[in-house]
Amino acid sequence: MKKLNDAKLKVGDIILTSGPNRMSRKVRKWTNSDVSHAMIYVATCSVIDSTGDGVHSTNTQRLFFDDESTVVALRYKTPLTIDTLSKITDFARAATGTEYSSAEAAAVVTGRFKKTTRRQFCSRLAAQAYAAGGITLVADVDYCSPEDLRNCAGFAEVDEILLPATEEEKAHWDNRLDIPRLMAECTNRFLAAARKQSKSIHALNDVHVHIMQHPEDDEYLSKALQASGYLTVWQKEFAKSPWHYDFEFMKRLGARTEDGNQQMTWYCRTTVDGAAEGRRYEINGAQFALLAKMTESETLGLLAELYGTLDRLHKQRVRVARQWLQENYQPNP
């Protein structure tokens, strides 16, 4: 068994994998490849991909692969600017909740292309995200396979991206509350209700546009949002890891063992290094607050309040992690 080595990965990398399931075998056979799925590395320990559940994020620490599985990481040879990386990751995040299109994924193999929809599949999402950043990876960003991405001349494979893993590690993560999975379930519940009101709603980012055009749907969408559980997922994250936000708690926890101290140092370093990734909470909160004021929308007001909370929590996490490093981490001379 093996797992990803996050220390070797960078934002913007595309990770290609295979699996033992029937669909993976079919895709590999149809595309004459040893890979069948594509994911975009959007932040430390986080990927976004398109599966049968739609477009959602996943914690890479929860990804475990059989020894027989192929796992490849691709990195663009020309270093990507911060602006380009932001456009790539913003596109992927904006697609959150978008439904999967098995028919269009199959069209990559059959060649029976119909009208392209806004639905997604894994390699389309990766290619379109790069296109949003001004980089064309393949001849057709709407219809491409993971193998097409692998054959892109602009990419180079990243070395040493895998580490050995144990069944105990997998069991540890399987027994922990999966916050990204919970968020995906809440997102899908909300969007399923929203789509009953309008077929124009594909992703979360479509909701505010719909409300501005159809203010009469605000009450319905507000109730659907609250019923979905989307607004309270952060509370479960807070309850699961309160030490993220409390320095004294973090200090007690990390001091128990040398291994615990090392893991705490790694967590704090990655949190501080990725501090800018949380800027989206502040930006989204400000945008929703402005739209809520303009439209007097309860739905947008709830989202503004949520992102304001997420922004405060993120900044608290960074402050606590920075304090830990200042008091405990001594770099090698």
Residue-level pLDDT at 329: 64
What pLDDT was estimated at residue 332?
45
- In angstroms, rounded to a whole number, what is the distance separating the alpha carbons of residues 123 and 15? 10
For residue 65, give both structure tokens: 């692969």
The pLDDT of residue 6? 93
Pick the closest to residue 202 from 182, 185, 188, 214 (CA basis).
188
Q: Which CATH number applies to 2-163: 3.10.20.600, 3.40.50.300, 3.90.1720.10, 1.10.3720.10?
A: 3.90.1720.10
Pair of tokens at residue 166: 């144990």
CATH 3.90.1720.10 in the chain, residue ranges: 2-163
- Residue 81's alpha-carbon distances to 9, 128, 135, 141, 296, in angstroms, are 16, 18, 12, 21, 38
Q: What pLDDT is stored for residue 260 in this prediction?
A: 66
Is pTM beyond 0.95? Reply is no
| Separation of alpha carbons 283 and 4, rounded Å | 30
**Nearest 5°: CA angle at 259, between 255 and 261?**
35
Residues 6+ apart with CB under 8 A from 126: 14, 38, 39, 40, 137, 149
Burial class (CB in 10 A: 0-12, 13-18, 19+), 131: middle
Q: pLDDT value at position 256? A: 63
Across the chain, which has 333 residues, the per-10-residue mean pLDDT values are: 95 91 76 90 95 95 93 96 95 96 89 86 97 96 95 96 95 93 97 95 94 96 98 95 92 71 86 89 96 96 97 96 84 45
pLDDT the model gives residue 203? 95
- Residue 333 has a pLDDT of 38
d(CA 142, CA 119): 10
Q: How far apart are CA 33 and CA 69, in angstroms?
A: 12
Residues 6+ apart with CB under 8 A from 221: 193, 194, 197, 207, 210, 211, 299
- Close Cβ partners of 238 (under 8 Å, ≥ 6 residues apart): 244, 245, 313
* Nearest-angstrom CA–CA distance, 202 and 309: 25
**In angstroms, rounded to a whole number, what is the distance separating the alpha carbons of residues 152 and 78?**
13
Could you write out the three-class secondary structure of the chain?
CEEECHHHCCCCCEEEECCCCHHHHHHHHHCCCCCCEEEEEEECCEEEEEECCEEEEEEHHHCEECCCCCEEEEEECCCCCHHHHHHHHHHHHHCCCCCECHHHHHHHHHCCCCCCCCCECHHHHHHHHHHHCCCCCCCCCCCCCHHHHHCCCCEEECCCCEEECCHHHHHHHHCCCCHHHHHHHHHHHHHHHHHHHCCCCCCCHHHHHHHHHCHHHHHHHHHHHHHHCHHHHHHHHHHHCHHHHCHHHHHHHHCCCHHHHHHHHHHHHHHHHCHHHHHHHHHHHHHHHHHHHHHCCHHHHHHHHHHHHHHHHHHHHHHHHHHHHHHHCCCCC
